[in-house]
Amino acid sequence: MKKILFALIGCACISNVNAADITIYYSPTCPHCHHARDFINSSLIYEYDNLKVTQVNIMEMDNRQAFLDALFKCGYQNGGVPVLVIGEKCFQGYGDSMQNDLRAAVEVGLTDAQKSAAAANKEAMAKDKDAFVSAHADRKNAVVEYSASKKN
């Protein structure tokens, strides 16, 4: 009986493997933040079907503690943005050269089939991004704006 129970639990865990979620701490006036958010919101959420993104505007005073907590968790000494927390990995700043590193962090824990699906989605977007995005418009719901003041 125990073997069957553990097998069922194992199957449930395997089937629920998701892309590592992203939390991005940003300032609305930061150009690097804008580029990072654009990459995430126009590419990554479409490549990875189960990806969830939380955006945290650090200019809202109520969100400052969450940002400070992230800086501490990541071991960063300065408050430069953007700060991206993807699973257990942290990134500070953004440049297009980071895109594959961000993808790799998102893929931690994914199965080979899930990675292949993401690669196929990326390829389909390269062929006709507008059609792919239109067909997967529900993915915009993967991005939410965090507000500590509305949390309570």
pLDDT in tens, 44-58: 999 999 999 999 999
128: helix, coil or strand?
Answer: coil
pLDDT at 3: 39
For residue 60, pLDDT beyond 50: yes
Strand locations in 10-101 (E): 22-26, 53-57, 83-86, 89-92
Instruction: Give the pLDDT band (50/70/90) at residue 2.
Output: very low
Pairing of strands 83-86, 89-92: antiparallel
How does pLDDT run across 20-41, given as a tens digit for each residue? 899 999 999 999 999 999 999 9
- Class of domain 18-147 as given by CATH: alpha beta
Torsion angle of alpha carbons 56, 58, 62, 64, nearest 10°? 110
pLDDT at 20: 85
User: In this predicted model, which residue has the larger pLDDT, 113 or 18?
Assistant: 113
* pTM, rounded to two decimals: 0.85
Domain ranges of the chain: 18-147
Phi then psi for residue 91, to 5 deg, are -135, 140
Buried b (16+ CB within 10 A) or exposed e, 52-81: bbbbbbbebeebeebbeebbeebeeeeeeb
Sheet holding 22-26, edge to edge: 89-92, 83-86, 22-26, 53-57, 143-146
How does pLDDT run across 71-89, given as a tens digit for each residue? 999 999 999 999 999 999 9
